[in-house]
Copies of this chain bind each other. A is one copy, B any other.
Amino acid sequence: MPRAPMYDVDEVMEQAIDVFLEHGFHGTVMDEIIARTDFNRRGFYLEFGSKQAFLYRVIQFYIDTQLQRVIAALESDSGVQAIDDFFSRYLALIGGRGCLLINCVAELGFDDPTIRDMGRHYIDRLQIDFIACVEQAVNHHELRPETNIEAIALQLTSYVQGFAINAILAQDADELKLATQTLLRGNR
């Protein structure tokens, strides 16, 4: 029997997310991936085949774990509270780092259909979940009955992308948090 691999793929994914968030896809060099994830070059190519295939895996992992956990707030709970939860979790996720999926869409989206599709699915899901939440809120009399549900949901979906960009620009996490509070308060 040969020795077992020392790296845990999930852990490597987590580490890779940080690296790609810092430098983007093309800005990240293999040397840094190797240095900052705990596995070796040969293992890398045996497991993933190429840097690009690796990126796809990392993004999918990011969606399935990080973003999934945030969106879950919208799907488990419901109404206004769910939306508050969502934004509070989302801010915690992207604060000081931005969103890997949105960054990759901005960097590669025009050229790369795979990434564009991932982005579209994510946005669609967000929109659908927001609609359900706002609908619930109306039903529970948390929002006025004449509320334009689709429009409000679309606003919320847009905020999310806006935050992802702001997270890169904001000096510190607090600034972003404050902005979010101001933004959501105004909507009541």
Contacts and interface: CB of A to CB of B under 8 A. Distances in A.
Interface in A137-188: 148, 150-152, 154-155, 157-166, 168-169, 179, 182-183, 185-187
A148 B150 CA distance: 22
A98 B108 contact: no
A174 B65 CA distance: 33
| Chain multiplicity (copies) | 2
Nearest to A186: B151
Interface residues of A, number: 46
A24 B107 contact: yes
8 contacts: A22-B111, A109-B168, A150-B182, A154-B179, A155-B159, A157-B162, A158-B162, A164-B165
